Amino acid sequence: MYISLYRTDSTKVQPELINVVGVDDPHLLKQANDWKKEGVQATLPSPDKIDHIYVLQYSYEGANPKSEYYMYVTNSEGNNYIKQFEYNGSYDSYQDSLKKEDVIKKIGLDGWKKVSAMEWLY
């Protein structure tokens, strides 16, 4: 599993990669995989209460490699939400002017799950 960190205050058009952290601990990998499955159906809070929006990529290698993408949202009340979505090229360019409402609208309001914080990551 690789965790890519990007600078949010960059003046560049594309996101500016700060660091990539690799994790090969089998216990941590299992925990990260189980975490996304443990969520319960929930209604996403209004965009004005959303603090951060992240894109998580789960890549599976082997005979049939594939990737799964999840939008991970945290809000001002300490709640965390996740939703699997279809990633496409329109997500490749960083637009600082893109509003949270537009991002959420793009992937939809249905199908969100409330999850615990990504404590396994720290």
26-69 pLDDT, tens digit each: 787 788 888 888 899 999 998 888 888 888 888 888 898 988 88
pLDDT of amino acid 10:
66
Q: Which residue has the higher pLDDT, 73 or 97?
A: 73
Q: Are strands 66-75 and 2-7 parallel, antiparallel or unpaired?
A: unpaired
CA-CA distance, 11 to 85, in Å (whole number)?
Answer: 28
In the predicted model, is pLDDT for residue 13 greater than 60? yes
CA distances from 77 to 81, 101, 118 (A): 12, 18, 15
